[in-house]
Structure 1
């Protein structure tokens, strides 16, 4: 079987679909990729795990004439290669691919589309529903299977779309990398990484930008340190808001309690030593950093949005607070740090829930869809 994976950019395939390629290779499939080559912009990403790569000038902008060029180039490739399955991803990658594959589909090629989060959902703007819903509904007619990664998207697509609809639990998190460790391992790691054994670590992972909203975490820390003077907030990630966050940290006299560590390759070690993980995002799809924390047995306090709502049952396997309610965030963190019995229950429930999102389980779901 020969399979083509498409997306707007090649980094998307590198970051989110290596697991799918592994499944396909395990079944003897030949795998090609068609996407715009943006890997020079990405630190260390390589698309070296497929048989053939086509550099196609997709653009994220629906108005770009590059997508017309991408359509023509892609159609020529599809006509030449005779794929058994064409699996498209990302909004514009999905639209252009399905248009280019119309002729091939009539000849028997199956077309799949993974929706990594519809722009229309409970709480989305009316504009999003008016613009994006009719587009996705129309293009479902050009699709054999739509694959969703959230329960909300699955239920909507199952009810409204003109094709088969499947659900997988995200793109998978490596259970060999993220798992709970005992107190001895945690203490040894803390010492190695320069922290005190009794120091409370609050971890926040994500690009430093306005949507990830780390300023809310900094505001909450001002109250947390009054009760836990040695507590430290670790912000992992780079981004455009770095200077503004550094300024806020200094203004609130939190330079000893907030640490910006940038992009790190040993993120799992920070998950092992974290006492609480937090996310203050205004919008999320299905955030891997939350799954990684839960799989590590770390309780999570996160803001109310569709992605966090998908992963966390408030008060059962984590806590959800309103965006920019830093007092509620502060109170939930303190509650977790102070009440060990509740902490242990939340930790175990989080771990149990996160097991659905492991490589092992998602591989099983992908195999069911394909084979």
Structure 2
């Protein structure tokens, strides 16, 4: 039985984006060990992380907690995690490490590089390089050299969008693969077990209201504030905005909604397990993010048949075609966001819905699963 490490900076990255990969590895007769930070930095609730641990235990999957930070300047915890990871790898005879997230990818490749001569393979999935078209120059100066250097110790580099794939062709990894994300369960999101009217009634949203929805961490990168500002410019009480997720900006965003006199039109729902039902109860998915790899929440909205309003950035442009299945806007331009919201309220949403349901099929999890099986087999055998 091959021994494999599934590693990321935080547990929520494994929970949200890698359970299918763990399932594939187990089906390939591998013994999987999860290595990440369970204690802090997660984008899901503490209750969900506890539940995730129990799920791993039920599947006989061991897990190791490392104090991996999300801040690249937290050198104390980075060095501590590096030392503990090196000790963990010693004499364990692992066949493969599949690592994710920038810091998790750095630690895994540095700690594992000397074992590659003994047969260890290292796969790194880049969920969106920090250097991209339009990124600050400091990102290119700091992160680009790091990724280029570490590619020397990478057997397979997986990129999930076309821009990153093009950049990675300059690097030195043994194999470069383009796999469009983690896949989405299109069958699950195409229908809802709970009727639209029942969900709207629970939220006190009227049938005639036009409801926008965003799903994602309440952070600067996700850029919810621009939608709140745009909403305040549209004096239509029927326009409502559902925000699903939590994060460090929750208090600030709630205060902003109050200050803009739109708190009665904005619903902060926190972490929810019924995303599918909430999508089907909404009229449009709005995604103002400033930086993405290939956003799962956007793909789930497409699978639910929602028209899309989103920022014209890397990842989003792989999924959305202007006027076909969504509309783009400048995520830093309040007037542009306002204009896009006005437009979608009168647009042919049935056309966009049909186009999204057709387009998302190429991102179905079954399609992605076949690609990952090939990559794992090549790495393990």
TM-score (norm 2): 0.87
SS at the partner of 2:186? coil
- Distance change in 2, residues 1:31/1:239 (3 Å): closer
Alignment of 1:80-95 (within 5 A): 80-95=91-106
- Distance change in 2, residues 1:359/1:44 (3 Å): same
- Distance change in 2, residues 1:246/1:67 (3 Å): closer
* CA deviation string 1:26-71 (max 9, x = no partner): 2221111222332797332223145222233434435624433433
Aligned to 1:203: 213
Is the 2:331–2:337 contact (alpha carbons within 8 Å) kept by the matching residues of 1? no
Is the 2:39–2:67 contact (alpha carbons within 8 Å) kept by the matching residues of 1? no
Aligned to 1:290: 298
How far 1:157 sits from its partner (Å)?
1.0
- Which residue among 265, 270, 280 is the counterpart of 1:272? 280
Is the 1:33–1:53 contact (alpha carbons within 8 Å) kept by the matching residues of 2? yes
- Distance change in 2, residues 1:122/1:88 (3 Å): same
How far 1:153 sits from its partner (Å)?
0.9
Q: Distance in 2 between matches of 1:181 and 1:37?
A: 32
Q: Distance in 2 between matches of 1:34 and 1:124?
A: 30
How far 1:192 sits from its partner (Å)?
5.2
SS at the partner of 2:185? coil
Aligned to 1:12: 13
Q: Distance in 1 between matches of 2:118 and 2:327?
A: 50
- Distance change in 2, residues 1:88/1:225 (3 Å): same
Q: Distance in 2 between matches of 1:159 and 1:280?
A: 30
Is the 1:297–1:350 contact (alpha carbons within 8 Å) kept by the matching residues of 2? yes
Aligned to 1:170: 181
Alignment of 1:78-157 (within 5 A): 78-157=89-168
* CA deviation string 1:142-192 (max 9, x = no partner): 11101111111112212433321112221233334322569x943454345
Aligned to 1:23: 24
Alignment of 1:25-44 (within 5 A): 25-38=26-39, 42-44=46-48
Q: Distance in 2 between matches of 1:71 and 1:257?
A: 47
How far 1:129 sits from its partner (Å)?
1.7
Aligned to 2:230: 220
Aligned to 1:301: 309
How far 1:106 sits from its partner (Å)?
0.4
Is the 2:152–2:173 contact (alpha carbons within 8 Å) kept by the matching residues of 1? yes
- Distance change in 2, residues 1:231/1:95 (3 Å): closer
Aligned to 2:351: 345
Paired positions, count? 366
* CA deviation string 1:249-286 (max 9, x = no partner): 33443343222222222121110011111122222332
How far 1:243 sits from its partner (Å)?
3.8
Q: Distance in 2 between matches of 1:69 and 1:324?
A: 38
SS at the partner of 1:264? coil
Aligned to 1:258: 266
Aligned to 2:339: 331
Aligned to 1:365: 371
TM-score (norm 1): 0.89
Is the 2:192–2:276 contact (alpha carbons within 8 Å) kept by the matching residues of 1? no
Unaligned runs of 5+ in 1: none
- Distance change in 2, residues 1:119/1:241 (3 Å): closer
